[in-house]
Chain A
């Protein structure tokens, strides 16, 4: 059971950061996962009053506030236009509309869930994470931070650029946590894949062997899928075994590469 002794609606990031330094204090996201914890929180810190619940657009990037609900990200016209709908595709399988209105981007990213659709698509979009004290870093760098880190996630920055994106996931049943997530991106002649829910944090796999360098063929797509599946590490849990995940990864990457090629 979750208990909270005190609730503070932070009036500044500095206030939130100062409060967050105490070990039994906690910054709240959407709470969809947190409320299932069996823990006692000293002070629950709410960033809800800091205007971080929207997506801003600049000439170079989309700035996604940490408190932006997943549903707002899912429905964002600009981000979906830039990714041929891959952002919506990545989020639509997460439980239901009410859940996605409740859960936040910041909560999903900060938690670094090993099953995250959100982390997979943001990593595919080469997003950067802005922390209050540490500043801006890539999603890959952020994934390596120790979980004892007590900084504040302010926003996620998605750079605007020409790219083709295909997002696929495998679920045992609709709206369940994914068995595997996969995004393949083609940008400026380069192709890379992001595979998540392995069930570990998402990771980027580049076409280092040049299997797709001279164009996409069925054989090349298949070889790239096998290559990613060979390089990625997988694990087992109640949803699937690691051998199954490895097979699925090869198939999803191949399908995503071929889909991107077909859709031009």
Chain B
């Protein structure tokens, strides 16, 4: 069936199967930052923003994106650049596989709550799993970025 959506600012019309997942759709359109991880809606690797809201593209049909704006990390490079370097500085990325999901959800967090506490950061990012790092590095990175914004 035909769907029309905006993917990273670009209007797209596509003919899709009813059971095609949004995850596969965006990857077919070159957005390879969006990963297939657990496939049980737990790991956050497939996070995309639909009309600005972080959702799991592994559990969303592509047809449900019809008429919506979808963003992946490919379309948010500038916004991500601001703080991703702080995460890297803390050595929080080891294999890096989870990183796009973390960055996407951090963008959503900071749009919703520009000055979160550590507890709020942990709560918001609880749906992003990392098998390498133990999460402290990501938390330190985001905290360092927030402190730098305040000039601390």
Give residues in A with beta carbon < 8 Å to B: 2-7, 9, 28, 30-33, 35-36, 41, 44, 46, 48, 92, 95-99, 101-102, 174-175
Residue of B nearest to A94 (CB): B127
- A-contacting residues, B1-35, CB 8 Å: 1, 17-19, 21
Other A-B pairs, 11, CB within 8 Å; known A98-B47, A102-B60:
A7-B18, A32-B41, A44-B18, A96-B126, A97-B54, A97-B126, A98-B44, A98-B56, A99-B56, A101-B55, A175-B42
B 44-65 to A, binary, CB cutoff 8 A, 1 in contact else 0 = 1001000001111011110110
24 example contacts (A-B, Cβ-Cβ < 8 A) are as follows: A2-B19, A3-B19, A4-B17, A4-B18, A5-B18, A9-B63, A28-B61, A30-B59, A31-B59, A31-B60, A31-B61, A33-B41, A35-B21, A36-B40, A44-B19, A48-B64, A96-B44, A97-B105, A97-B124, A98-B127, A99-B41, A102-B55, A102-B60, A175-B127
Which residues in B have their C-beta under 8 angstroms from that of A44? 18-19, 61
Whether B127 pairs with A35 at a CB distance below 8 angstroms is: no
- Please give the distance in Å from B108's CB to the nearest CB on chain A: 7
**How many B residues touch A, CB cutoff 8 Å?**
30
Residue of B nearest to A100 (CB): B127
Whether A92 pairs with B18 at a CB distance below 8 angstroms is: no
Residue of B nearest to A175 (CB): B126
**B95 CB within 8 Å of chain A:** no
- A-contacting residues, B114-129, CB 8 Å: 123-128
- Please give the distance in Å from B3's CB to the nearest CB on chain A: 10
Whether B61 pairs with A98 at a CB distance below 8 angstroms is: no
- The residue that A101 contacts in the complex, of B18, B21, B53, with Cβ under 8 A, is B53
Whether B64 pairs with A97 at a CB distance below 8 angstroms is: no
CA A4 to CA B63, docked complex, whole Å: 12
CA A5 to CA B1, docked complex, whole Å: 11
Whether A96 pairs with B55 at a CB distance below 8 angstroms is: no
Given contacts A95-B127, A99-B127, contact A35 B58 (CB under 8 A): yes
- The residue that B42 contacts in the complex, of A5, A7, A95, with Cβ under 8 A, is A95
- Please give the distance in Å from B79's CB to the nearest CB on chain A: 17
Which residues in B have their C-beta under 8 angstroms from that of A5? 18
B 99-118 to A, binary, CB cutoff 8 A, 1 in contact else 0 = 00000010011000000000
Given contacts A31-B61, A174-B126, A175-B126, contact A95 B1 (CB under 8 A): no
Residue of A nearest to B50 (CB): A101
- Please give the distance in Å from A74's CB to the nearest CB on chain B: 11
Residue of A nearest to B108 (CB): A97
CA A263 to CA B94, docked complex, whole Å: 45
Given contacts A3-B19, A102-B55, contact A96 B61 (CB under 8 A): no
Which residues in A have their C-beta under 8 angstroms from that of B125? 96
Which residues in A have their C-beta under 8 angstroms from that of B56? 32, 98-99, 102
CA A46 to CA B56, docked complex, whole Å: 17
- Please give the distance in Å from B22's CB to the nearest CB on chain A: 10
- The residue that B61 contacts in the complex, of A7, A33, A97, A99, with Cβ under 8 A, is A7
Whether B54 pairs with A101 at a CB distance below 8 angstroms is: yes
Which residues in B have their C-beta under 8 angstroms from that of A36? 39-41
Residue of B nearest to A30 (CB): B59
Which residues in B have their C-beta under 8 angstroms from that of A6? 18
CA A36 to CA B54, docked complex, whole Å: 20
CA A70 to CA B144, docked complex, whole Å: 31
Residue of B nearest to A28 (CB): B61
Which residues in A have their C-beta under 8 angstroms from that of B55? 98, 101-102
Report, nearest first, the 5 A-B pairs whose CB atoms are least far apart: A96-B127, A7-B18, A4-B19, A4-B18, A32-B41
Whether B18 pairs with A98 at a CB distance below 8 angstroms is: no
